Structure 1
Amino acid sequence: MTVPAYSDDLALATRLADAADALTTARFRALDLAVSAKPDRTPVTDADTAVEDAIREILSTERPGDTVAGEERGGTAGSEGRAWVIDPIDGTKNFLRGVPVWATLIALVEDGTPVVGMISAPLLGRRWWAARGEGAHLRDAAGERRMSVSKVATLGDAYLSTTDLNSWTEYHSREKYLALTEACWESRAFGDFWSHCLVAEGAMDVAAECIVNPWDVAAAQVIVTEAGGRFTDLSGAETYEGGSALSTNGLLHDEALAVLRRQ
């Protein structure tokens, strides 16, 4: 029997997610939660830094030769070698407000391509993961199952999840946001990691974000593609480093890009 190429890395990602969940759930709604602002005015909590530090400590023992790039402590993945790309809490604003939609995102990037992705949202009771060539999986209250994207074939029948209109106005295009939402059957704003995970599950057909960082979407890229979907930036480049993100069931991708490219 052939052992999957990334089985050890996926097992390690599971351990990292377990350690992160223990810390985040203990600090969620904590009265003494310490909050500060980064230079871009986005919030960071003591839980964010504690999770990233804990993950880095485990990786320093288990994968001392790998690079680590995280939202809070810095670092870059590069285009060669192995790097773990970490977002300790994706959805920090939700975490601060007591909204249970946040997750720890863990990706292994090999020679510039995400090959393992782990997204754990403990307050939602959901965890998504994938490894290259091994499919994408979900564990929730109903148990564990392999995921696959939807079969919706036209945007007019599609369920879209996207982000705040003000962000599109500031960083991309208000007109293109409206064009995409109007081209689809329905639109929602689940936001952040959840939009892309729902595409991988087949619950959503399209997810679009006008501004992201690499740690926001590295894990999502491999999860969506292993579920049979397609992941690019808004220009169509197949990268997690393009500063934006578009994930679809694959059937709708070119049509969505065409809408976003219209003048």
Structure 2
Amino acid sequence: MVREPDLALAHRLADAAGAVIRPLFRAAYQSEAKADASPVTEADRSAEAVMRSLLTAEAPRDGIIGEEYGSERPEAARQWVLDPIDGTVSFMAGRPIFGTLIALLQDGWPVLGIIDQPIAGERWVGALGRPTLFNNAPARTRPCRSLADAVLATSGPQYFSDHDGEHFMGLAAQTSHRRMLFGGDCYNYGLLASGHIDLVVEAGLKLHDFAALVPIVEGAGGTMCDWNGDPLNADSAKDGGGHVIALGDPARLEDVVEGLACHH
């Protein structure tokens, strides 16, 4: 079970990040391209810095894994995983569908997660053994009778390799593909936890992209796993795979895994 002080600290981290991000949204800020050509802004860096300083003060023995500033105390059993702005491209375009992701791992397994959307004032909180909350009210995924009814989302076709893209499109063809959603990053997983969409499938995700999402989706009645159906942990992003399925109705999991295994 997750302790109350850990939940309270996670909320304070999200509050601190949001306070840094909000004044920079649709405003003037510095940005540059990272080595992998993905963008980073001063909002990303400032938000992670403020969260790291809070963790160093309040949880000095815990490890930290952050998108912008790397790892501290990697040997610690407890690791806080931070993605200050998941969806930097959306942030830069003025689209309020990015989020701050905060996770706590215990021995490599995600036990607590927050998605915070600081512009809309929306926050999903998931913790092992507790129901997921959206702005303090319970969030629930919705049932999905068949893959043909499923509304599928992904951050975008540009994030798939050719090989993964073929498998993704093979699955997409079996879903309600006229309602398929592109874009949204972590926000899609919050919408899935709240019962608005059915399925999110992605590849190439890093630990900081998905660790916070697992307790949120699972605490709302859904399931998260890799493309083989195996549970996600700190090793799931190694070797550059980062293949992730989030599914609102676990009864459809076999169909989704089968759908990804074949392609047209």
TM-score (ref. length: structure 1): 0.91
- SS of the residue corresponding to residue 100 of structure 1 reads coil
Distance 1:9 1:39, change over 3 A: same
Does residue 44 in structure 1 map to residue 40 in structure 2?
Answer: yes
1:233 alignment partner, one of 215, 226, 229 = 226
Distance 1:76 1:253, change over 3 A: farther
Does residue 16 in structure 1 map to residue 7 in structure 2?
Answer: no
Does residue 244 in structure 1 map to residue 243 in structure 2?
Answer: yes
CA contact (8 A) 1:118 1:129 kept: yes
- SS of the residue corresponding to residue 149 of structure 1 reads coil
CA contact (8 A) 1:78 1:111 kept: no
Distance 1:80 1:19, change over 3 A: closer
Deviations 1:136-158 (A, max 9, x none): 0101xxxx310111111310111
Residue in 2 that maps onto 1:82? 78
Residue in 2 that maps onto 1:255? 255
Could you tell which deviates more after superposition, 40-49 or 94-103? 94-103
Distance 1:53 1:166, change over 3 A: closer
Residue in 1 that maps onto 2:213? 220
Paired AA for residue 56 in structure 2: S
Paired AA for residue 160 in structure 1: L
How do 1:131-142 residues align onto structure 2 when only pairs under 5 Å count? 131-139=127-135
CA contact (8 A) 1:87 1:104 kept: yes
- SS of the residue corresponding to residue 105 of structure 2 reads strand
Aligned length: 254
How do 1:169-188 residues align onto structure 2 when only pairs under 5 Å count? 170=161, 172-185=163-176, 186-188=179-181
1:57 positional shift:
0.5
Residue in 1 that maps onto 2:49? 53
CA contact (8 A) 1:6 1:132 kept: no
Unpaired runs of at least 5, structure 1: none
TM-score (ref. length: structure 2): 0.91
CA contact (8 A) 1:172 1:210 kept: no
- SS of the residue corresponding to residue 69 of structure 2 reads coil
State the Cα RMSD in Å: 1.8
Deviations 1:147-191 (A, max 9, x none): 1111113101111112322322x2643322221111112311243
Matched residues in 2 for 1:167 and 1:133: separation?
33
Unpaired runs of at least 5, structure 2: none
CA contact (8 A) 1:6 1:131 kept: no
Q: Which structure has the higher relative contact order (CA within 8 Å, separation 6+)?
A: 2
Deviations 1:28-76 (A, max 9, x none): 1222x11111110111111111111110111011100000000000117
Paired AA for residue 27 in structure 1: L
Matched residues in 2 for 1:159 and 1:91: separation?
21
Among all aligned residue pairs of Structure 1 and Structure 2, give the percentage whose two residues are the same amino acid: 35
Distance 1:83 1:171, change over 3 A: farther
Distance 1:172 1:196, change over 3 A: farther
